[in-house]
Amino acid sequence: MANQNVDMIRALCEACGPSGFEHNVRKLLQTFLEPVADTVERDRFGGIVGKKVGDPNGPRILLAGHLDEIGMLVTHVTDKGFIRFQTLGGWWSQVMLAQRVVIHTRQGDILGIIGAKPPHLLPRDERDKVVKIQDMFIDIGVKDKAEAEAAGVRPGDPISPWSPFTRLVNEKMHMGKALDNRLGCATAVAVLRELQGQSHPNIVYAGATAQEEVGLRGAQTLVNYVKPDIAIALDVGIAGDTPGVAEHEARSRLGEGPILLAYDGSLIPNPRFRDFIMDTAADAGIPLQVETIAGGGTDGGRFQLHDCGVPTVSFGCTTRYIHSHAAVFHQDDFDNGVRLLTEVVKRLDRTVLNDILDF
C-alpha cells in the first residue's frame, strides 16, 4: 500500500497545475478517485470530489486538499526573446534564480531557466542585495521575440517549476515539486481507498479545490457545492527540524507523525473537533504532532464560513522547503495521516457531530 501511495504522489507531483491552470492535475486525480468513489463530482470552478456513501443519513464530511501549485504566468516577451512573468502564489525571490521552469504553450511545453543580471556586472554594494522578482526573466534559448512567438509563447501562458520527484538516501524521504499540496490530494484518495469494504456512519466527499494559493478561492466554491456538516482541509505544514529554525517558530519534525494545526492565519479550529482528532490518534496509537502557523492560511478558513458555519480543522504532513522548486516529506507521516483520518471517518457519526457542534 505504501508503494502504491508513493507512486500516486509521484504522478500528482510531476503533473503541472499552477493556480488557475489545474486541469491536468484534476484529470489525473479523477483517475485515482474513480475506482474508490461511488461517484466523482465537480464544482464549476475546477474543484473535484469523490463521493462515498456509508450511512445516507449520516453527516456530510468534506476532506479536501488543493490541486494548484505555485507557478507563474507569461506577461510579455521582450524584443530579444526573454520572458517576463507574473508570479502565481507566494514565491520567495531567493529560491527562484537559476531554477528551471516549463512554459505551457498551445504548441507544447518549453523548458527555460530563470535569470537576472549577472553578479559580475553589479557594483559591489549591490551584490549582496536580494534580486527582486520584477528584475528576473526566463531564458528559453531564442534569439528574439519572433522566434519565441513562433515557438508558441504568448501572454497568459502558465509556467510551472521543473523538478523530478526523487527518493532520497533515507528511502522514506522524498523530494519533489508541488508537495504543497499534491500530498493533500493524495491523502483524499488514500482515505477513500482505505474505506473500501469498511462501514462508516456518514457520507464522505474527498478531493481537492482549485486556486488555493491565490486566496483560497476554490475552497469557497467547493464548500458551496458539497454543503458539508464538517470539514478537514488537507494541507502541509512547516518543518522545524532544519538548521536555523528555533523551537518556538516551528516544532514539527519529519517522521514523527502527521500534523494538526491548532491555529493558522485563516482558521481557529473548532475545539471539540480538534480534541476528537487528538483523542482518536491517542486511542488508535497513531503519532500526531500539533502545530501552529501564523504566517499562512488554508482552505479551512473558507470551509468554516459556509452557510451558518462548518466545524473545520486543518491537517496534513509537515514538509521542508515548501513554496520552492523542491520540497521534502517523510512517507511515514503521510501513511499515518491516512490511518488517522480513516479512523476519524469511521467514528464520526451524528452523535459525535452533535457533540462537536455543542462547543
Helix (H, G, I), strand (E, B) or coil at 176: strand
Which sign, positive or negative, has the C-alpha torsion 319, 86, 159, 25?
positive
Outline where 79-156 has alpha helix (H): 145-150
CA 237 – CA 295 distance, rounded (Å): 11
Q: Given 212, 247, 249, 291, which residue is catalytic? A: 212
* β-bridge mates for residue 205, sequence order: 51, 62
Q: Which residue has the cell 501552529?
A: 292
| Largest CA-CA distance found in the chain, in angstroms, rounded | 70
Sheet containing strand 327-330, strands side by side? 166-167, 173-176, 327-330
48 Cβ neighbours under 8 A, 6+ residues apart = 26, 29, 30, 33, 40, 41, 42, 67, 207, 208
Nearest to 284, CA basis, from 211, 343, 241, 232: 343
From CA 191, how far away is CA 182, in angstroms rounded? 14
- The contacts of residue 260 (CB under 8 Å, 6+ apart) are 269, 274, 277, 278, 288, 289, 290, 291, 313, 314, 315
The C-alpha cell at 340 is: 488517522
The cell numbers describing 319, all together, are: 514538509
Whether 41 sits among the annotated catalytic residues: the reply is no
> Is the distance from CB of 180 to CB of 323 less than 8 angstroms?
yes
* Spatial separation of the C-alpha atoms in residues 40 and 291, rounded to whole Å: 32
Catalytic residues: 212
